[in-house]
Structure 1
Amino acid sequence: MEPTELPSLPDARFAGLLAEAQALQPRTVELRRAIHRRPEQGLELPETQQTVLRALEGLPVEIIRGTSVGSVTAVLRGGLPGPAVLLRGDMDALPLTEETGADYASELEDSMHACGHDTHVAMLASAAHLLARHVDELAGSVVFMFQPGEEGYHGARHMIHEGVLDAAGSRVERAFALHIYANAPTGQLLCRPGPILASADRFDVLVSGKGGHGSAPHHAIDPVPAAAAMVGALQTMVTRRINVFDPAVLSVTRIAAGTTSNIIPETAELEGTIRTLSERARARIREELPRICEHVGEAHHCRVSADVEPGYPVTANDPAMADRVLELAGEVLGAERAETMAEPLMGAEDFSYVLQRVPGAFAFLGACPPGTPPEEAAPNHSNRVHYDEDALPHGVAMYAAFALDALRAPAH
């Protein structure tokens, strides 16, 4: 299917959005810090959910709470009938103990907003306030998707199953999400057409032999050399079975076997991750991995159980939507702040589930701490990561611009 041509709007339509977003900065920062202090993990986020609901009080939005997960969906209906557009902000935290030294640091041990989801929630809530002021300019509805469980819990898929894409009464036609990024200059928006993030599957391999004394391996069936051979065979598989122009990463991240120095163990375990940028390469590795491990195990007289657990799909931007997001960034934030990413990142995102169903785009928003070179800043998922809050109005303005652009009233 050919990408939809998206006509540009006059610059004046977006001229004041960044200033309006900056005026909302005290509200945005207050909400961000409140959520940051009380991080919650997984699919049920009762305190965060209540904080979001309070942040939306007084707005002309229809609220839908999740039934199987702790989500919040808010629908803002425009002054004219039209299609629906979706804006997503994820809400969950990570199992880390914060060491940033911030005066609003997490109050909970082993829980921290180390991936910036607190900033996503705050930006999206402020975008709802901003768009409510422009409701008469919207020919259609905006669906605000406050999502739990992005960090490995498939929260977006749960919300899709509960009907978030149909929350406005008609199917969402376009979707947009931002992700804060400490390793880019503050206020810079990065996007690209096609794949922007990888798929993420995990694998577990159990190698079973026969235990024995370390001094007499010929009386045992040692699973350790079999497991070691699998590591090399899997790396060779990636370089010999996968097209070099269709990138894939396979990393064995855990090997476990044995209890002491003079005992050959009964079993050995391998665990790791698979990242690809296409469903073709993903399917090939998922097919090859068990076959290779089983055959290597057979060569060592070991039994093998290899399992690949599907994770998030490839996050692939609609080309026309990605190009339009970059154009909007140039108009709203300034041409110097819009950058096309040269290559994807091999991390993963469950906004991929939305983009499988709806044309849309996922973009990164730079928030490097002042005085720190971007390449030296603590990255996402570090317990020392710090985001420059001066970036937040740029995200608020971009959320609003995407909705205003997608729901522009027809010319008379």
Structure 2
Amino acid sequence: MTAMFGEAAEALRDDLVAVRRELHRAVETGLDLPETQRIVLRELEGLPLEISTGDSLSSVTAVLRGARPGPVVLVRGDMDGLPIAEATGLPFASTSRAMHACGHDLHMAGVLGAVRLLAARRDELPGTVVFMFQPGEEGQAGGRIMIEEGVLEAAGERPVAAYAIHVDSATPRGQLVTREGAMMASASALRLTVHGTGGHAAFPQHAIDPVPVAAQLILAVQAFAARRLPATDQAVISITRIRGDSEAGNVLSATVRMEANIRTLSMATLDTVREQLPPLLAGIAEANGCRLDAEFIPSYPVTYNDPAETREVLAVLDELVGPERVTRLEAPSMASEDFSYVLQEVPGTLVFVGAAPESGPMPLHSEHAVFDDSVLPLQASVLAELAWRRLARG
């Protein structure tokens, strides 16, 4: 099959770059993104879409019904930025203390391009496409909230497949990257409070000092990951916060609070961590005369690319850009993604596209992150092509 959208996407280049840069300047964080939502709604005006907005978040759902009968597919673009003060020096840089340091401005622009490409061929479109513009990807579980508010039923029937593209400022421009199965890790947290008694720093024998107990717990966390979990399905468990409640240099803390960030590549491994790690730590604390409170906070599930769907996606990508520009990852990333909630419900695929600037690779989530927005026509055309071909398969 000949690629259908490449030339039309190139014709949209200037418009897509312009709206991406407007979104970059107007960055907002979290679930409430009124200005971002306003721009997205403005860009959708006049198109043959059924549009709805979220009740508890600034989401936008747009349904494009093709003139020909067929199934439903979903295309996701996330909307929120990060609470980072931008230091790129770009002429369109954000001047607030928030930044699109993970490329969500490109994600929105790419999906808006796909909307226009598919809407222009609505008379031939063999089915329905749901476009999901989602706030709160950066830790607020906006995808889960949109599912609870009915995004998967927006077209009247559930999608048979779902697709999303994520840009990467550390991957060469235009390189497409994905894999079958686990693509990105789950993310959860374990909050720990170690209760001692506090006391005078000169007389620790008269107190129960939780600080050395906390140190033992940190070591136990690292040993747990290395010795309780299979080497073939490891977890990354990092203590990311630790704080005692003493406000004076000569006072022992009465409590120490810590937080562990937990990343796994299977729900079975996450269940093992959740069930076995808290009681192990509680036992160590008790053996040292302390009491431990542990609170497990689940967040994003494993981002799992359906193998059969992803094989079809890889075949399309090979055809569109050539196999030399398609990377099949050998191992998943330990980062996490809110699109995981959609992929729990609908078979589909998350694809990364390289957007490294000419100056060289840049890390995501950095105040210096720069993305080459010349990849926007590629994003738009790939999303449109994947949606169209999946609909055509029935």
Q: TM tier, shorter chain?
A: over 0.9
TM, length-normalised to structure 1: 0.93
Q: Does 1:22 align with 2:10?
A: yes
Of 293, 305, 309, which residue of structure 1 is paired with 2:281?
293
SS of the aligned residue for 2:232 comes to coil
Give ranges in structure 2 of 5+ residues lacking alignment.
none
Given that 1:312 and 1:349 are in contact with CA atoms closer than 8 Å, whether structure 2 keeps it comes out as: yes
Given that 2:17 and 2:374 are in contact with CA atoms closer than 8 Å, whether structure 1 keeps it comes out as: no
1:409 Cα shift?
7.0
The superposition leaves residues 348-407 of structure 1 with CA deviations (integer Å, 9 ceiling, x where unpaired) of 1111111011010011110010141xxxx2211101100011111111111001111011
SS of the aligned residue for 1:22 comes to helix
Given that 2:70 and 2:392 are in contact with CA atoms closer than 8 Å, whether structure 1 keeps it comes out as: no
Q: Does 1:403 align with 2:390?
A: no
Q: Distance in 2 between matches of 1:136 and 1:403?
A: 15
Residue equivalent to 1:282: 270
Q: Distance in 2 between matches of 1:288 and 1:393?
A: 48
Residue equivalent to 1:137: 124
Of 165, 168, 178, which residue of structure 2 is paired with 1:181?
168
Given that 1:234 and 1:292 are in contact with CA atoms closer than 8 Å, whether structure 2 keeps it comes out as: no
Q: Does 1:327 align with 2:315?
A: yes
Of 121, 130, 133, which residue of structure 1 is paired with 2:108?
121
Residue equivalent to 2:155: 168
Of 382, 385, 390, which residue of structure 1 is paired with 2:366?
382
Given that 1:157 and 1:353 are in contact with CA atoms closer than 8 Å, whether structure 2 keeps it comes out as: yes
1:191/1:409 CA distance change after superposition, 3 Å? closer
Alignment map for 1:318-357 (pairs within 5 Å):
318-357=306-345
Of 71, 93, 100, which residue of structure 2 is paired with 1:83?
71
SS of the aligned residue for 1:35 comes to helix
1:385/1:303 CA distance change after superposition, 3 Å? same
Which residue identity lines up with residue 397 of structure 1 in the other structure? S
Residue equivalent to 2:52: 64
SS of the aligned residue for 1:172 comes to coil
Of 206, 217, 222, which residue of structure 1 is paired with 2:204?
217
Given that 1:191 and 1:325 are in contact with CA atoms closer than 8 Å, whether structure 2 keeps it comes out as: no
Residue equivalent to 1:196: 183
1:409/1:361 CA distance change after superposition, 3 Å? closer
1:137/1:331 CA distance change after superposition, 3 Å? farther
Superposition RMSD in Å: 1.2
Q: Distance in 1 between matches of 2:387 and 2:337?
A: 22
Q: Distance in 1 between matches of 2:171 and 2:315?
A: 19
Of 225, 237, 243, which residue of structure 1 is paired with 2:230?
243
Alignment map for 1:83-122 (pairs within 5 Å):
83-108=71-96, 110-122=97-109
Which residue identity lines up with residue 158 of structure 1 in the other structure? I
The superposition leaves residues 234-281 of structure 1 with CA deviations (integer Å, 9 ceiling, x where unpaired) of 111111111110121000112212333322111111112000000000
Q: Distance in 1 between matches of 2:56 and 2:367?
A: 30
Given that 2:356 and 2:362 are in contact with CA atoms closer than 8 Å, whether structure 1 keeps it comes out as: no
Identity of aligned residues (%): 48
TM, length-normalised to structure 2: 0.98
1:225 Cα shift?
0.8
- Size of the alignment, in residue pairs? 393
Give ranges in structure 1 of 5+ residues lacking alignment.
1-9
Which residue identity lines up with residue 168 of structure 2 in the other structure? Y
1:139 Cα shift?
1.2
Given that 2:225 and 2:237 are in contact with CA atoms closer than 8 Å, whether structure 1 keeps it comes out as: yes
Alignment map for 1:348-367 (pairs within 5 Å):
348-367=336-355
Which residue identity lines up with residue 228 of structure 1 in the other structure? A
